[in-house]
Chain A
Amino acid sequence: MQRLFKNRVVYLSVSLLLLLGSFPLISIGTTYGPSFVWWLGLVALLIGAMIPPAQRLFFPPKEKPE
């Protein structure tokens, strides 16, 4: 997990995939059901959206010397 959070492209790719994946799940789930489908989409959306701020919080970038 630590490795994942230390590689910027990897954790942002995971975030991107979760955000993109959430969209059809929410659309189909809220329009046709069943409701667990859009819940799954909402969870994916939340996790995808939380990854970048979580990374900054738990693994803040080291200050570069001037």
Chain B
Amino acid sequence: MAATIALLAFRTPLDNLAVAGAKGVWDAIFILLVIWPALLLYQIMDRSGGYEAMRQGITRLSKNELFVVIALGWVFTSFLQGIDGFGTPIAIVAPLLVAFGLKPVYAVAIPIIAHIWAKFYGTLGAGWLATLQVVDIDQATTMATAYQTAILIVIQTVLGGLMVVWMYGRWPAIRHGWPLVLIISIIQGFGQIVAVAIDPALAAFLPATAALLALFPLARWKRYAHPATSIVDRPAMLASPVEATEDKLPPMSTAMAFLPYIMLSTIAVSTSVIEPLRNVLSAFTFGFPFPTVSTGYGLVVPGSEMYSALRPFSHPGAGLLVTALLTWMIFRSRGYFSKWAQIAQKRARGMLAGLIDTAVPASVPIIAFLIMASVMNHSGQNEVLALGISAVAPAYAFAFLSNGIGVVGAFTTSSSTSSNVLFSDLQITIARLKDLPEATILAAQSAGGAIGNAIAPANVVMGASTAGISGKEGEIMRKTLPWTIVAFLLTGMATVILVVIAA
């Protein structure tokens, strides 16, 4: 559809469409390099009883189901987003929540919404660093953007936590869970504002880790140590409360089940923080050339000797793959696969076949969406969309709507980073034209780029495939869309307030 519109309405020649399509495939490879190892790790964990051990371990941490849903769905997902990204937290946490007893649609919707706050500064600052690559702003504006983005993201933190609790058990759950939401929101949201001053690249990772550590003392709080009897209706849960679940004794301890995630965190942090190691791993780059292409309306996309160079050894997928292979070797040497096959009375099926069964159906839609995004970008459809909004909107109305452009960008590209790469420069241009503060508008774009991930097709498709509910993407989106609209409206209002303060 996007290609037909590009061809007929935007005068995009076929060679331009071919280049756009090929770039879309290449952009998707960055995501697939995370999905395939993540799904391999999922297969390894699933077939060794690792998820069952983990589920039982977290259940023992607290008998309070809501606490566990928050711990896994919000805090653990955010921690993973702080160091990794590209949808990895959803791919890892959705099956964990299913194993815990959540309905698969909720098991996907909860981590999608809950990790949004960590999108922009997550993956060790990937979105922030990419944004700085595409805009020309001075040091003072850069720092103002960093702080104002962190301020706007507080909305996503609080709203994300409340939504998780609401999904679990509506108003009774909100009444029971609000102190926990408040504490974690302060650690994550306000922690991020403080962490920006230390290093924006660590602004999500540091508070996300602090929140994870805070779970241990919080689990001892009487309010969250025992089941919440006041929450009767639990629409997100499949069956009976946690203590009634019939457990099969897994072949490994909880600590052993968490070992892959400890390894993953260690690898991700080491390869990002230890500069000599990062330099060695980043030294090898790989990419393909593309020529300059243009449309009949004069939109020119410059060529490149190496389009969007891939650094395969420093890509998060490499860390995931190493983790998956090490986990497989350790678990195999300890005989976990055969022991769990006996305990669970499951037929041991080929791991590779299982990987292909899940990864191929997840990969094709992701490539298709990124081709669509690239075609829209190359043909000028994105620009027309953004300029149309700015043309009809007065300055304050534009300030209100500016995060919406980020939402649209993230929806069409399934990436907050790509949304910022696409629209940051345009937002700055419009801010200058309308005499609005550049830092605030860029912050709104960044916040919107994160919000749009809640309805990003690639996230939804990937979550659905890892939770075993491919084809139910519409149901997941119906859960995440209302949150997206509320977050967009509140961010718009906060942007206007920031503009008024700056005036």
Contacts and interface: CB of A to CB of B under 8 A. Distances in A.
Interface of A: 8-9, 12-13, 15-16, 19-20, 22-24, 26-31, 38, 41-42, 45, 49, 52, 61
Given A27-B22, A27-B290, A49-B21, 4 more contacts: A19-B364, A42-B18, A45-B21, A45-B22
A12 B25 contact: no
A23 B307 CA distance: 12
Contacts of A13: 356, 360
Contacts of B29: 20
B460 to A, nearest CB: 16
Contact of B21 (A9, A16, A42): A42
B42 interface: no
A11 to B, nearest CB: 9
A45 B368 contact: no
B18 A15 contact: no
B361 A45 contact: no
Contacts of B136: none
24 contacts: A9-B356, A9-B357, A12-B363, A16-B360, A16-B364, A19-B25, A19-B367, A20-B367, A22-B21, A22-B22, A23-B25, A27-B288, A27-B307, A30-B18, A30-B290, A31-B303, A42-B14, A42-B17, A42-B18, A42-B21, A45-B18, A45-B25, A49-B21, A49-B371
A32 to B, nearest CB: 8
Contacts of B22: 22-23, 26-27, 30, 41, 45
In this complex, which of B21, B22, B288, B367 has the most chain A Cβ atoms within 10 angstroms of its Cβ? Answer: B22
Given A12-B360, A13-B356, A13-B360, A49 B368 contact: yes
A49 B219 CA distance: 49
Give the bracket for the number of chain B residues in contact with chain A. Answer: 20 to 34
Nearest to B303: A31
Contacts of A30: 15, 18-19, 22, 290-291, 293
Contacts of B289: 27, 31
Interface string B12-45: 0011011101100110010000000000000000
Contacts of B17: 42
Nearest to B307: A27
B18 A41 contact: yes
Contacts of B290: 27, 30-31
A52 B363 CA distance: 12
Contacts of B303: 31
Contacts of B21: 22, 26, 42, 45, 49
